[in-house]
C-alpha cells in the first residue's frame, strides 16, 4: 500500500520535476530512443503516462541500474489492429509500460546468461528470457518478443529494441461467452445414467444472500456458463473465493465498477477461481501457491486453526464461512476483493539544488502515422491481448494508488 502510494505521488509530482534532468554522466533513455528513430509511439505513451521523469529519477537513484525493453512503432501498430490504444484506460497503459522496465541493469551478455525471472516495475509480473548465441527472446507469458538490438548497454542503463509488445499469458479460462442463460445450472456429467447432478455455484450464492454484486458481475462478464463448463469438465474440480457485497462496496467507493470495461471485470473475477477443488482442511494445509484461472497469477494461503487468509499479493482477504465444500466444488466467502501486489515504487532522487542549471526536458514526438495496412491477428491472439489488458488493469489499480 505504501509503495503504491509513493509511486502514485511520484507520478503526480512529475510535472513539478519537469526541469529535473539526469546528471550529465547518466544516459538519457528519451534521447537514446529519439535518436533510434522507430520508437515514437513508445515515447508518446511514456510522456502521456507521465513516466519520463520518474524513470529518469529511478535511474539516478537506483544502485542496481535499469533495463528497458522498447517495442518498436511496428510492434505497437500490430497491437493497435487488435485493440486501439486510444480505447485503453490510461492507468492500464501505464501498467503495460512498467512491464517493459526492469529495476536491474542487464547488458547483452548478462541477459543471455540469466536463467531467473527478470523482475519488472509492474509488481509481481516477471519476464522470462530464452535464446542462444544468435537469437534472444523475452516473454511476459504471452507472445514472445524478439530482442532486435541493443540501443544502449553501459551501466547503469540497458536499453533493448523488441519487436512485440509484452503481455501476460492467456488465462486458462474456458472459451468465450456461453450461450447458457445467466442462471442456468450445469447439467449432470454424461458419465452414466446414475451420475449425480453437479452443484450450481449460482444457486448456492443466491441462497446465501450476501453475494448479489458478485452474481451480477458474473452474469455481465458472461462467466456463469464458462464456470459451469469448467466444473463439468475438470478432473480436479473447482474452488471459488466469493467476495461479499460489502467487499465490493469498498472497491466501488474508490472506483465505480460500472466504469470498468466488462473484459477487465472478467479478468478480475477469474482471479477468484482456482481450477482445483479445496475444502477447509486442504486449504489450511496447503503451502503451495493456489493456481487461478487468470494465467500465471496465483494466491497464497496463510492462517491457523482459528483464522484463514488468502491473498493475490495485495491486501489479504479473510476467508469467512464455507458455502460449499463437497467435490468437485469448493465455495468460500471472503471479505475483500483480491488484487495482485502493487508495482514496485521507484525511489525518488534528491531534488536538484536551488539555482542549479537544468536543461529543458526532451519532448517526445507524437505517434507515428499509420503505415501500410497489416493483416489482423487471429481471434486467439485478440483474446490474449484483451485478457492481457484486463490482467494489467488490476495491477494498474495499484499503480495509481486507488486501492
Do 237 and 118 share a structural domain? no
Do 252 and 159 share a structural domain? no
Residue 17: other Cβ atoms inside 10 A: 21
Query: Torsions phi, psi of 157, nearest 5?
Result: -120, 125
Higher pLDDT, 168 or 270: 270
In the predicted structure, residue 313 carries a pLDDT above the cut 50: yes
In the predicted structure, residue 351 carries a pLDDT above the cut 70: no
Report the pLDDT value the prediction gives residue 333, as an integer from 0 to 100.
Answer: 97
Using pLDDT thresholds of 50, 70 and 90, give the confidence band for residue 392.
low
Report the pLDDT value the prediction gives residue 169, as an integer from 0 to 100.
Answer: 66
Query: Torsions phi, psi of 348, nearest 5?
Result: -75, 135
Residue 355 buriedness (CB in 10 A; 0-12 / 13-18 / 19+): exposed
Give the lowest-confidence range in 159-173, 248-262, 341-355, 361-375.
Answer: 361-375
Give the lowest-confidence range in 3-7, 82-86, 218-222.
Answer: 3-7
Grid coordinates of 14:
512529475
195 in any annotated domain: no
Do 145 and 18 share a structural domain? yes
In the predicted structure, residue 29 carries a pLDDT above the cut 50: yes
Grid coordinates of 284:
489450511
Do 156 and 71 share a structural domain? yes
d(CA 320, CA 206): 17
Spatial strand order in the sheet of 308-311: 273-274, 238-243, 329-334, 317-326, 308-311, 298-303, 290-291
In the predicted structure, residue 378 carries a pLDDT above the cut 50: no
d(CA 23, CA 352): 10
Report the pLDDT averaged over residues 388-399.
48
Using pLDDT thresholds of 50, 70 and 90, give the confidence band for residue 195.
low
Higher pLDDT, 339 or 332: 332
175 in any annotated domain: no
Higher pLDDT, 261 or 332: 332
Query: Torsions phi, psi of 150, nearest 5?
Result: -90, 120
Contact 317, 309 (CB under 8 A): yes
Residue 231: other Cβ atoms inside 10 A: 23
Report the pLDDT averaged over residues 199-212.
95
Do 136 and 16 share a structural domain? yes
In the predicted structure, residue 355 carries a pLDDT above the cut 70: no
Using pLDDT thresholds of 50, 70 and 90, give the confidence band for residue 264.
confident
178 in any annotated domain: no
In the predicted structure, residue 192 carries a pLDDT above the cut 80: no
Do 137 and 14 share a structural domain? yes
Report the pLDDT value the prediction gives residue 64, as an integer from 0 to 100.
Answer: 94
Contact 78, 45 (CB under 8 A): no
Of the candidates 301, 334, 367, which is a domain's last residue?
334
312 in any annotated domain: yes
Do 141 and 275 share a structural domain? no
Grid coordinates of 91:
492507468
Tell which residue, 89, 20, 83, 18, has the closest CA to residue 349.
20
CATH number of the domain that 375 lies in?
A: 2.30.180.10
187 in any annotated domain: no
Average pLDDT across the chain, whole number: 76
Give the lowest-confidence range in 6-20, 115-129, 141-155, 254-268.
Answer: 6-20
Do 307 and 251 share a structural domain? yes
Domain total in the chain: 2
Do 326 and 254 share a structural domain? yes
347 in any annotated domain: yes
Beta-sheet strands, E only, within 304-385 = 308-311, 317-326, 329-334
DSSP-assigned beta bridge partners for residue 291: 298
Give the lowest-confidence range in 12-26, 117-131, 148-162, 331-345.
Answer: 12-26
Domain extent at residue 84: 2-170+343-399
Of the candidates 315, 334, 353, which is a domain's last residue?
334
Do 352 and 314 share a structural domain? no
Report the pLDDT value the prediction gives residue 67, as an integer from 0 to 100.
Answer: 97
218 in any annotated domain: yes
Contact residues for 302 (Cβ-Cβ < 8 A; gap 6+): 308, 309, 310, 311, 316
Do 323 and 278 share a structural domain? yes
Report the pLDDT averaged over residues 50-60.
91
186 in any annotated domain: no
Report the pLDDT value the prediction gives residue 47, as an integer from 0 to 100.
Answer: 94
Query: Torsions phi, psi of 332, nearest 5?
Result: -125, 140
Report the pLDDT value the prediction gives residue 92, as an integer from 0 to 100.
Answer: 78
Report the pLDDT averaged over residues 19-28.
64
pLDDT tens-digit series, residues 266-287: 888 999 999 999 999 999 999 8
Do 289 and 362 share a structural domain? no
Query: Torsions phi, psi of 172, nearest 5?
Result: -85, 35
Strands 157-162 and 66-71, bridge-based pairing: parallel
Q: pTM for the complete prediction?
A: 0.55
In the predicted structure, residue 234 carries a pLDDT above the cut 60: yes
Tell which residue, 345, 347, 351, has the closest CA to residue 21.
351
Of the candidates 317, 334, 351, which is a domain's last residue?
334
In the predicted structure, residue 1 carries a pLDDT above the cut 80: no
Amino acid at each position: 500500500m505504501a509503495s503504491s502510494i509513493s509511486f502514485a505521488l511520484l507520478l503526480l509530482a512529475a510535472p513539478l520535476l519537469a526541469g529535473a534532468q539526469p546528471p550529465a554522466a547518466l544516459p538519457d533513455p528519451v534521447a537514446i530512443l529519439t535518436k533510434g528513430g522507430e520508437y515514437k509511439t513508445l515515447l508518446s505513451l511514456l510522456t502521456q503516462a507521465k513516466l519520463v521523469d520518474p524513470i529518469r529519477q529511478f535511474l539516478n537513484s537506483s544502485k542496481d541500474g535499469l533495463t528497458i525493453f522498447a517495442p518498436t512503432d511496428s510492434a505497437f501498430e500490430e497491437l493497435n489492429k487488435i485493440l486501439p490504444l486510444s480505447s485503453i484506460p490510461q492507468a492500464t497503459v501505464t501498467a503495460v509500460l512498467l512491464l517493459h522496465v526492469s529495476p536491474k541493469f542487464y547488458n547483452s551478455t548478462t541477459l543471455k546468461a540469466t536463467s531467473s525471472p527478470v523482475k519488472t516495475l509492474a509488481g509481481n509480473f516477471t519476464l522470462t528470457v530464452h535464446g542462444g548465441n544468435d537469437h534472444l527472446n523475452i516473454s511476459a507469458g504471452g507472445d514472445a518478443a524478439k530482442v532486435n538490438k541493443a540501443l544502449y548497454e553501459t551501466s547503469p542503463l540497458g536499453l533493448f529494441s523488441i519487436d512485440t509488445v509484452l503481455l501476460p499469458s492467456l488465462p486458462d479460462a474456458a472459451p468465450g461467452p456461453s450461450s447458457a442463460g445467466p442462471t442456468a445450472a450445469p447439467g449432470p456429467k454424461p458419465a452414466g445414467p446414475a451420475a449425480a447432478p453437479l452443484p450450481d455455484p449460482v444457486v448456492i450464492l443466491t441462497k446465501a444472500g450476501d453475494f448479489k454484486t458478485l452474481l451480477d458481475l458474473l452474469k455481465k462478464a458472461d462467466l456463469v456458463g464458462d464456470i459451469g463448463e469448467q466444473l463439468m469438465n475438470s478432473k480436479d474440480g473447482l474452488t471459488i473465493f466469493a467476495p461479499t457485497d460489502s467487499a465490493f462496496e469498498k472497491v466501488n467507493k474508490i472506483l465505480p465498477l460500472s466504469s470498468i470495461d466488462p473484459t477487465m471485470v472478467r479478468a478480475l473475477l477469474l482471479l477468484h477461481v482456482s481450477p482445483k477443488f479445496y475444502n477447509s482442511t486442504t486449504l489450511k494445509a496447503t503451502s503451495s501457491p493456489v493456481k487461478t484461472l487468470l494465467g500465471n497469477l496465483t494466491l497464497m494461503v496463510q492462517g491457523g486453526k482459528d483464522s484463514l487468509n488468502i491473498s493475490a499479493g495485495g491486501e489479504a482477504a479473510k476467508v469467512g464461512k464455507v458455502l460449499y465444500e463437497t467435490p468437485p466444488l469448493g465455495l468460500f466467502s471472503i471479505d475483500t476483493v483480491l488484487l495482485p501486489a502493487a508495482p514496485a515504487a521507484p525511489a525518488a532522487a534528491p531534488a536538484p539544488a536551488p539555482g542549479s542549471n537544468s536543461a529543458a526536458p526532451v519532448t517526445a514526438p507524437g505517434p507515428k502515422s499509420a503505415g501500410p495496412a497489416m493483416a489482423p491477428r487471429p481471434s486467439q491472439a485478440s483474446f490474449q491481448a484483451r485478457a492481457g489488458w484486463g490482467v494489467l488493469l488490476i495491477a494498474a489499480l495499484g499503480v495509481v494508488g486507488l486501492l
